[in-house]
Structure 1
């Protein structure tokens, strides 16, 4: 699925893994129900809740032209207890 771009691994998202929360960057047009359905189907887990936000745009300068980097939406997905995404498992 092209809507989920990649998982986010930062210091904060690694701390969120202890609370069973996983962070993904997704397409800006994606909705919470679409992402929930896709995550549950692809990883065979139960999603408890989803929080989303759109980070502010960053400017990029190339010579005299000032442009903007691509926009994305960040989703923080909380799974029900007993479930985990194998992409992040310690085993």
Structure 2
């Protein structure tokens, strides 16, 4: 897979920002078919950093109540990428 297809977007939440500052771990939304090796190669290529480990999780689609009925969210795959202590990714 191409690296621009593998990584969809960085996830910037309070929990993800805490992990970034505490343990140099960045969170990305990735393609559902991407493997850990694909993610590792894509982060190395796009951000030019040394990747130590990749952890993935799949967030299931949840139903939410709206005023016009139930809306189903989308299934997403997240990757938590830990990089070398000397490297840094500038997201913004």
Structure 1 runs of 4+ with >2 Å offset: 60-64, 66-70
Deviation at 1:68, TM superposition (A): 3.0
CA RMSD of superposed structures (Å): 1.8
Consecutive unaligned residues in structure 2, runs of 5 or more: none
Consecutive unaligned residues in structure 1, runs of 5 or more: none
Report the secondary structure of 2:5's partner residue: coil
Deviation at 1:71, TM superposition (A): 1.6
CA distance in 2, matches of 1:78, 1:50: 6
TM-score, scaled to structure 1? 0.83
**Aligned equivalent of 2:91:** 87
Q: How many pairs were matched up?
A: 87
